[in-house]
Structure 1
Amino acid sequence: MKLNEISDLPGATHSRKRLGRGIGSGSGKTAGRGVKGQKSRSGVAINGFEGGQMPLYRRLPKRGFVNIFAKDWNIVSLGRIQQAIDAGKLAATGSIDIAALKEAGVVRRSKDGLRILGDGELTAKVALVADHASKSAVEKIEKAGGSITLPAAASAEA
């Protein structure tokens, strides 16, 4: 096989639809856009617009409170950490922080910090570095012979 003989399988590529090329083409005149009006033109942005009537999202009452300063934590359970250690993705030696968890594929991206929850069992002796930890998580880590490093304010809160 030569480079000039390589081609896609038949039917793999489709030629683009040539719009507005006469009535005989099947997509002439209105070019598949229906008829007249704003939606037949390009650059349409009318989501939520109700023809001048007050839109539904403005008519309905708003409730609750959304804290715009709320932190988005990476929440990881002890069971998930043990699972990664058992699979060989995470080394039990050395400290385990958000960067190590990201490298092991336990978390996808690092957010505002790491919060450890006590779900599952931990058998490995690990040294964790986190921003928050539940009381049950701290107890299980210490019971397994490990340690957890928390900021001073978080340890008082947890």
Structure 2
Amino acid sequence: MNLSNLKPAEGSVRNNKRLGRGEGSTRGGTSTRGHKGAKSRSGYSKKSGFEGGQMPLQRRIPKFGFKNINRVEYKAINLDVLQALNEKGQTTLMDSEYFVSNGLASKNAKIKVLGRGEVSTALEVHAHAFSKSAVEAIEKAGGKAVTL
């Protein structure tokens, strides 16, 4: 086998319809475009969303809301999750690298610790934000809540 005798698989290649090439092409005078109207003309292209003059969907539906470009998105981690991690790994220092290695957050995510659940061991937790109840619970158990 070499480049000079390569062929496509049988039936995989077809010739294009030769449109607008007269009566002998079997497509006739309209070339499969039907009779008259904008769609039969050359150069026609429908605007996306055009509904033939009817009020289009994107204009019928009301606008609402906005995206705040200054919003800070946090990855929430609760106290019960911290307690379970502590029991599993027997570590007291929990920082962003620890959360990433345990699959709780991505590398660049900001982490916020929330107050659901209870902590029974003294943990040192490093995060970008804490809820008041989470700070109280961590300090009550003898640990530290360090804001990054």
Equivalences for residues 54-133 of structure 1 within 5 A: 55-88=56-89, 91-92=91-92, 94=93, 96-111=94-109, 113-133=110-130
| Structure 2: gaps (5+ residues) | 1-8, 18-31, 34-45
| Structure 1: gaps (5+ residues) | 1-15, 23-28, 30-35, 38-45, 152-158
Measure how far apart 1:136 and its partner are. Answer: 0.5
Percent of aligned pairs with the same residue?
A: 33
| Residues 54-106 of structure 1: per-residue CA shift (max 9 Å, x gap) | 54233311112320221111111111111112122x622x3x22221111222
2:85 counterpart letter in structure 1: A
Provide TM-score, normalisation by structure 1: 0.57
Larger radius of gyration between Structure 1 and Structure 2: 2
Taking a change above 3 Å as real, the CA distance of residues 52 and 116 of structure 1, as seen in their structure-2 partners, is farther
Provide TM-score, normalisation by structure 2: 0.61
| Residues 26-63 of structure 1: per-residue CA shift (max 9 Å, x gap) | xxx8xxxxxx89xxxxxxxx9x7344655423331111
CA distance in structure 2 between the aligned counterparts of 1:117 and 1:79, rounded to whole angstroms: 9
Do the aligned residues in 2 keep the contact of 1:82 with 1:121 (CA within 8 Å)? yes
- List structure 1 runs of 4+ shifted beyond 6 angstroms: none
CA distance in structure 1 between the aligned counterparts of 2:70 and 2:12, rounded to whole angstroms: 49
CA distance in structure 2 between the aligned counterparts of 1:85 and 1:117, rounded to whole angstroms: 16
Count of residues paired in the alignment: 111
CA distance in structure 2 between the aligned counterparts of 1:58 and 1:87, rounded to whole angstroms: 55
Measure how far apart 1:109 and its partner are. Answer: 4.5
Measure how far apart 1:138 and its partner are. Answer: 0.4
2:113 counterpart letter in structure 1: I
2:135 counterpart letter in structure 1: V
